[in-house]
Amino acid sequence: MRRSYLRSSRFRVWPKFALGAIAAAVLLSASTAPIWPAESRPVVVEIKLDDVVQPISAEYIKAGIQHANEIHAAAILLTLDTPGGLESSMREIIQAILSSQVPVIAYVSPEGGRAASAGFFILISADVAVMAPGTHAGAAHPVLLWGSNVGKTMETKIENDSAAYIRSLADRRGRNSQFAEQAVRESKSYTEREALQDHLIDAVENTPQDIFKDFDGKTIKRFNGGTTTLHLKDAVLEPYLMTAREKFLFYIVNPNFAFLLGALGVACLYVEFTHPGMILPGVVGAIAIVLAIFAFHLLPINYMGVILILLALAMFALEVKVTSHGALAVGGIIAMVIGAMILVDSPWPAARIHLSTALGVTIPLAVITVILVRLALAAQQRKVVTGDQGMVGELGVAQTELAPAGKVFVHGEIWQARVAGKIQPGARVRVKEVQGLTLLVEPEDDSH
C-alpha cells in the first residue's frame, strides 16, 4: 500500500508543476512577441524609375511587377522621376502595368521630380496616380528627330496616335482625358496641384506611408473593369533592386556611353593593326566594340548616322595622304558630330547622344587617327636598315681590283662584289643590289 500511495501522489503533483511551467512560457512569449507579426503585414513592392525610359529600365520594371505578382504583394509602388524616353520601352512598361494582378501605384517623387513625356503616359496608366509636393508631369507631345520634316500628314498621324493612346488610358482609369490629351497636343505640363484639380491624379502625398494610410480600405477600379480593395495598413515597403547585370547593362545602353565605347574600340583596334604584337589595345578594342554593338542593337539606330561616322573616319585617314590644308579633317569632325547626334533615332532628347559627348569624343579621335596614320605612313617610307635590303646604299672600299669581279669591304665584312666596268683597289664603292652573297656595286663618285 505504501508503494501505491507514493505513485498516486507523484501523478497528482507533476500536472500542477507542468501547468505552471507552460503558463509561464506562454506569458513570456506573449510579452516579447511583436504586435504585428511580419507574415501578417501587407507587402508593397517598390520599383524606381529615376532615369530615361529605355530597354533595360523596361526589363527591370517588368521583372519587378512579375516578382510582386509571384509573392502576391498588396500593391506595387512605382516611383517616377524621369524626363521620358523611348516609346517602345514605354509601351512595354504600360502593358506590364495593365496586365498586373497586383494594383500599381505610380508616385512622382521626390520633391522636384517629374514624370515628363513617356513618364506621363506611365503615370496615367497606373491604378492609382499620386504626386509629391513640388513635382510636375506632362509635356508628352511626340517630338520628331531634329525637327525632321516628314510631311504634315505623317506628323498629324503620329500626334493623333499618341493622343488616342493617352485618351484610352485616361478613360479606362477614370481620369480627365481632355486634360491628358492637352499634354500630348499642346505639350502642356501640370504641377501636382493642377494635376489633382484637373482630375489627372488621385492624390498629393508627402511620403509612401501617407499613401498607404489614406488609400487603405479604398476600392479601386481595375483596367479590365473589375474592382480591388486596397489593404495597405502598416504595409512593409520592399524595395526591388536592379541586379548587377541590369545595372551594368543600364549604363552600357546609355547612348552617350555606348558611343564612347565605340570610339574607344575603333582607336584601340587601329593601334593594334598599326603596331602588331601589342595585344592589350587589341583586347580592349575588341571588348569595347562588342559592348557598343550590343548597346546599339537595343537602341533605335539611324543608319544615316552610321554612314556619316564611317565617312568621317575615311576623311581622317585621307587627311594625311591628300594635301587638303585641314579641310578633310574639319569635314570629318563635322560629319562625325552630326552622325553621332542623329545616330540614335529617338524623339526624346534625353535618349540621344549629347552635343558635348559628340565633341568630346570626335575631336580627340580625329587627332589620334591623323597622328597614327601619319606615323604608319612614315614607317612605310622609312629606309630599311636590316637584312639584305639594309645593305643597299651602304658605302665600302674595294679590297682588290674589280674587273668586273673582286672583293669589297662593307659593314666590317669582306664580300664578293661585281661592277659594271673596272674599279681600282682602295676606291670607295656604293652597294646597288644584293644577289645572294654577291654585292653589285658602283663607284661612289658616280652615284652622286
More confident residue, 6 or 18: 18
More confident residue, 347 or 403: 403
Cβ-in-10-Å burial (0-12, 13-18, 19+) of 86 comes to buried
pLDDT, mean over the chain: 83
CATH code of the region 388-447: 2.40.50.140
Yes or no: say if 94 and 65 are a contact pair by the CB < 8 Å rule: no
* Residue 39 confidence (pLDDT): 55
The string of pLDDT tens digits covering residues 201-246 is 999 999 999 999 999 999 999 998 899 999 999 999 999 999 998 8
Q: How many residues does the chain have?
A: 448
Q: What is the spatial distance between Cα 290 and Cα 252, in angstroms, rounded to a whole number?
A: 11
Q: What DSSP string runs through 197-266?
A: HTTSSSEE-SSHHHHHHHHTT-EEE-TTS-EEE---TT-EEEE-PPPHHHHHHHHHTSHHHHHHHHHHHH
Which cell numbers hold the place of 167? 485618351
Which cell numbers hold the place of 356? 558635348
Q: What is the spatial distance between Cα 229 and Cα 74, in angstroms, rounded to a whole number?
A: 10
With a CB cutoff of 8 Å and minimum separation 6, the contacts of 437 are 415, 416
Query: Where is mean pLDDT largest: 100-109, 341-350, 379-388?
Result: 100-109
pTM to 2 decimal places: 0.67
Share of the chain above pLDDT 70, in %: 83
Q: What is the spatial distance between Cα 405 and Cα 292, in angstroms, rounded to a whole number?
A: 65
Residue 325 has pLDDT above 50, yes or no: yes
* Residue 302 confidence (pLDDT): 83
Which cell numbers hold the place of 102? 497586383
- The mean per-residue pLDDT over the stretch 398-427 comes to 88
Residue 407 has pLDDT above 70, yes or no: yes
Which cell numbers hold the place of 112? 522636384
The string of pLDDT tens digits covering residues 126-152 is 999 999 999 999 988 776 544 445 567
Tell me the C-alpha to C-alpha distance, in Å, between residue 342 and each of 147, 250, 256, 290. 11, 21, 12, 21
Beta strand pairing call for 405-410 and 413-419: antiparallel
To which CATH superfamily is domain 38-244 assigned? 2-enoyl-CoA Hydratase; Chain A, domain 1 (3.90.226.10)
Helix (H) or strand (E) holding 96: helix 87-99
Window from 15-19, 193-197, 222-226, 245-249 with minimum mean pLDDT: 15-19
Domain boundaries, the chain: 38-244, 254-381, 388-447
* Residue 376 confidence (pLDDT): 65
Closest to 97 (Cα-Cα) out of 118, 79, 116, 76: 76
- The mean per-residue pLDDT over the stretch 248-261 comes to 86
